[in-house]
Structure 1
Amino acid sequence: MIFIIFFIAAILVVTAAIHLNQCGDVISKKTSLSGAAVGTFLIAGATSLPELTTSITAVYIDNPDIAVGNMLGSNVFNLLILAVVDLFYRKQRLFQRINQHANLPSAWISLTFLVIISLSLLVPESLQLFNIGIEMYMIVILYIISMKFIASDYEDDHDAPLTKDIPLSSAITGFLIAVGVVFISGSILSLAGDQMAEVTGMNSSFIGSFLIAASTSLPELVSVLAAFKLANYNMAVGSIIGSNLYNLNLLVFTDVLYQKGAILNSIQDTHLYLALLGITMTLFLIYTLIRPNKIDRLGHYLMPSVFIITLYFLTSYMIFFL
C-alpha cells in the first residue's frame, strides 16, 4: 500500500510542478514582474518547490538523510536528464547548438558549492554556528557575490512564446492551487519514503537520493523536452544548471530548519559519494561547455554524456548496497 501512495504522490508532484511552471511563465510575462531576474526566480522557485517541500517534511519527521539526499540527488538526476536527452537526440548535438560559455559561470559556482559540501562531509564534525553548518554560510555568501555574474548570463525572455497562454487571473489562481498540491503531495512523498525505508529495509539515503529525487526532478525533464521542442537549446541547458544552483541554496534553508545541529553532521556517509558524483558529473558538463565546438566524430562528442549516465547508475548501485 505504501508503494501505491508513493507512486500517486509522485504523479501529483510532477503534474502540479509542471502546472506551476506553466502558470509561473504566464505570470512572469504578463505582469510588471516580468524582468529576467524576477522571472527566473519565479520559475526556478516553482520547479524547485517539490524538492523544498519534500526536504522540509523530511526534517519535520527527523529524517535528515531524505532531506539532504533529495537535494543532492535531484542535482545529479538533473545532470542525468541532460546526458540522456543529449544521447537520445544525438543527431541534434545539443552542446554544439548552445552558447557554450553563457552557462559556464553558473556551472562553476555549482561545482564550488558541491566541493564545499563534500569537504564538510569529509570532516567528522564540521563547524557550526547557531546550529547551522559553517559551510552553509559559505554557500550563501558565495551565492550573493556570484549573483551579478549569473544574472549577466541570462537575457530577458519577455518576448519568448508562452508555454501556456491563459488569463493572468487564471494563472495566479492556478499557481496558488498548484503550490498547495505540491506542498501536500511533496509532504506525503517524504512520509511515504520514510515508511518505505522501514518496510523494505532500504536505507533512507538511497530512497531520498534516487527514488524521491527522481520523482521531484521529473518536471525538469518536461521543461528540457519542451525547450527542445521549441529548439531553444540554451534554455534546456540553462534551466538544469539554474535548478541545480537553486537546489543547493535550498539545502541551506533545510539546515536552518533542522534543530539538532548542522544537518550534514547528522546524515549517513553515503551522501559523500553522492556529492562526489555531483562534482564529477558537473566537471563533465563543464568540459562539454569549454571543449572545441567542432567535433566530427559522434562517438567522441557523446563521450561525456555516456560517462555521466554510466557513473549515475554505478553510484546508484553502490549506494543501494551500502
Structure 2
Amino acid sequence: MLLAVIAIIAGFALLIWSADRFVLGAAALARNLGVPPLVIGLTIVGMGTSAPELLVSALAAWDGNAGLGIGNAIGSNITNIGLVLGVTALIAPLTVNSKLLKRELPLLLAIMLIGYALLADGRLARPEGGALLLGLAALLFWMVWSARRAQPDDALAEEILEDQPPPMSTQAALGWFALGLAVLLGGAKLLVWGAVAVAHALGVSDLVIGLTVVAIGTSLPELATTVLSARRGEPDIALGNVVGSNLFNILGVLGLPGLIAPGPVPHEVLSRDYPLMLFLTALLFLFAFGRQPRRINRAEGGVLLGVFIGYECWLYWTA
C-alpha cells in the first residue's frame, strides 16, 4: 500500500513536469516549422494539457482497467469545471470576451450529449470508441480552421499571441518533445499501477479511483495554468484551457478505452457521473453567457466548487 501511494505521488510529479516540457517542445517545434501561433495555442497547447489523461487512459485500458480510463475522462471534466474553474473564479472572476469561446462552449455541451447517447446502451464498443476518436480528429481540424479565420482583435487570440513561449532551436525543441513524451509514458505507467493497487487494497472499483484520485491529479496542470492565466488578466485563456481540455477528454480520453478494451460501462457512470458532468457544463454555460456582462463571478465560482465538493463526499460515502 505504501509503495503504491509513493508510485501515485511520483507519477503525478512526473506527469506535471513532463506535460509542461512536452508542450514547450511541441509548440517551439511547430513554430519553427511555420505553424501560426494561434493554431499552436488552440491545438498543440490544448492537446498537451490533456496528454496526462490521454496516456493514463490508454495504459489503463491496455492493462485491462478500462474503468479507470472511463473514470479519468469523466472525473477530469467534473474536476476541471467544479474545482479548477471554481477555485479560479474565487481568486479572480472570469470575464468572457472571446467569440471563439462562445462557439466552443455550446459545442462542448453538444459533444457531451452525443457521448451520452453512444454510452446509453451500457457498452463502450470499438465502433463507439472509434467514432469518438474520429470526432477528435474533426475537432482538431475545426480548431485549426477557426484559428486561421479568427479576427486579430478576438480576446482569446490577443491573449494567446501575447503568451508565446521563448524562441528555441529545432534541436532543443525536438529534445524537450522527446524527453517530455518519454517521461509522460513513465509517469502514466507509475500512476496506473499505483492507482490500481490502491483500489484493490481499499476494496473500491477502478472507476471510483479514476473519478477521484486520478482525475484530480491529472487535472493539476489545468489548475495551475488556469489560475496563473486568470491572475495575469487572461480570463479567456483560463476558460479556454478548461473547455479545450474537456473536449479532448470526451473525444480522446473516453474514446481510447473503447478502442483498446471495449466492454460494459459501469451503471454508475450513466446514472450518477455523466449526468453530473452534463449538469456542471450546463451550469457553466448559464454562468458564462446567461447575462451581460458575460462573466463568472466569485459567488458562481463558489457554487461550482460546492457542487464538486458535494460530489466527492457523495462518492466517498457510497464507495
Q: TM-score, normalised by structure 1?
A: 0.83
**Which position in structure 1 is the counterpart of 2:199?**
197
Q: Deviations over 1:69-111 (max 9, x none)?
A: 111111111112011110122xxx213xx31653122111211
Distance in 2, Cα, partners of 1:142 & 1:54: 17
SS of 1:314's equivalent in the other structure is helix
Q: Percent identity?
A: 18
1:1-322 alignment runs, 5 A limit:
1-79=3-81, 80-89=83-92, 93-95=93-95, 98-99=96-97, 101-124=99-122, 131-133=126-128, 137=131, 140=134, 144=138, 147=142, 151=147, 155=157, 159-250=161-252, 251-258=254-261, 261=262, 263=263, 266-272=264-270, 273-294=272-293, 301-320=297-316, 321-322=318-319
Q: Deviations over 1:237-296 (max 9, x none)?
A: 1111011111112122332122xx3x4xx232222222111111111111122122349x
Preserved contact between residue 27 and residue 34 of structure 1 (Cα < 8 Å): no
* AA of the residue aligned to 1:87: L
* AA of the residue aligned to 1:137: A
Q: Deviations over 1:87-140 (max 9, x none)?
A: 122xxx213xx31653122111211222233344443457x5xx333x862784
Q: Deviations over 1:189-233 (max 9, x none)?
A: 111111111111122111101111111111111221332343221
Q: Check 1:125–1:257 CA distance in 2 against 1; reply closer, same or farther (3 A cut).
A: closer
Preserved contact between residue 7 and residue 193 of structure 2 (Cα < 8 Å): no
Q: 1:312, CA displacement in angstroms?
A: 1.4
Preserved contact between residue 49 and residue 221 of structure 2 (Cα < 8 Å): yes
Structure 1: runs of 5 or more not aligned: none
Distance in 2, Cα, partners of 1:159 & 1:124: 44
Preserved contact between residue 24 and residue 176 of structure 2 (Cα < 8 Å): no
* AA of the residue aligned to 1:227: S
Q: Check 1:124–1:181 CA distance in 2 against 1; reply closer, same or farther (3 A cut).
A: closer
**Structure with the higher fraction of residues in helix conformation:** 2
Preserved contact between residue 4 and residue 193 of structure 2 (Cα < 8 Å): no
Distance in 2, Cα, partners of 1:66 & 1:73: 10
- The count of residues paired between Structure 1 and Structure 2 equals 305
Structure 2: runs of 5 or more not aligned: 151-155
Distance in 2, Cα, partners of 1:72 & 1:166: 36
Preserved contact between residue 84 and residue 223 of structure 2 (Cα < 8 Å): yes
Q: Check 1:203–1:85 CA distance in 2 against 1; reply closer, same or farther (3 A cut).
A: same
Range with bigger deviation, 220-229 or 22-31: 22-31
SS of 1:103's equivalent in the other structure is helix
Q: 1:156, CA displacement in angstroms?
A: 7.6
Range with bigger deviation, 164-173 or 182-191: 164-173
Distance in 2, Cα, partners of 1:181 & 1:67: 19
Computed over aligned residues only, the root mean square deviation of the Cα atoms, in angstroms, reads: 2.9
